[in-house]
Amino acid sequence: MIVETEAYLGLKDAASHAYCGVTARNKVMFGPPGFAYVYFIYGMYECVNVVAEREGSAGAVLIRALEPLLGVELMQIRRPGAKRLRDLASGPGKLTLALGITRALNGVDVTKGSLVVRDRRGGEAFEITAGPRIGITKCADWPLRFTIKGSEFVSR
């Protein structure tokens, strides 16, 4: 279950990859919603977004952390360094490693097939809190980071 996300907007958001217009890398951000935008960062990690704006308008949601409910053993194999459950996917770089998400999935339709995420806890209530974004230098104070209140599985 996803416990932490961040929103990145289009031409008005200096922290967004879409800030300066369409490029080869960010073009899926300008496409229709429901598609995965996967990019490579710091020479080492990949991060997943889901495009969330209509075609022609840029905007995406970065998936920053999740609480492992299914496939825990597989995640542990992919991330041998993780000692605790919360270390498996508590951060955008770790999350893609744990799930085996790579740039090969850039541009895939997330609304079809196996990428659809379901909450197995059956409608258990939770609260979402908004706060400043993490790991960026521009517009970091915009309250576009959303976490499930009280979750132990968010990044720090």
Partner DNA sequence: CAATAGATCATCT
Partner DNA sequence: GATGATCTATTGC
**Segment lying near DNA (by CB under 7 A), choices 76-84, 110-118, 120-128, 144-152:** 76-84
80 binds DNA (CB under 7 A): no
135 binds DNA (CB under 7 A): yes
- CA 84/CA 61 separation, integer angstroms: 26
- Longest pairwise C-alpha distance within the chain: 43
- Beta strand 128-131 with 60-66 is unpaired
Shortest distance in whole angstroms from residue 112 CB to DNA:
22
Residue 137's identity, in one-letter code, is T
Phi and psi at residue 85, in whole multiples of 5°?
-55, -40
CB nearer to DNA: give 50 or 148.
50
Among 30, 37, 146, 153, binds DNA (CB under 7 A): 37
81 binds DNA (CB under 7 A): yes
Among 2, 3, 4, 8, binds DNA (CB under 7 A): 8
8-state DSSP, 37 = E
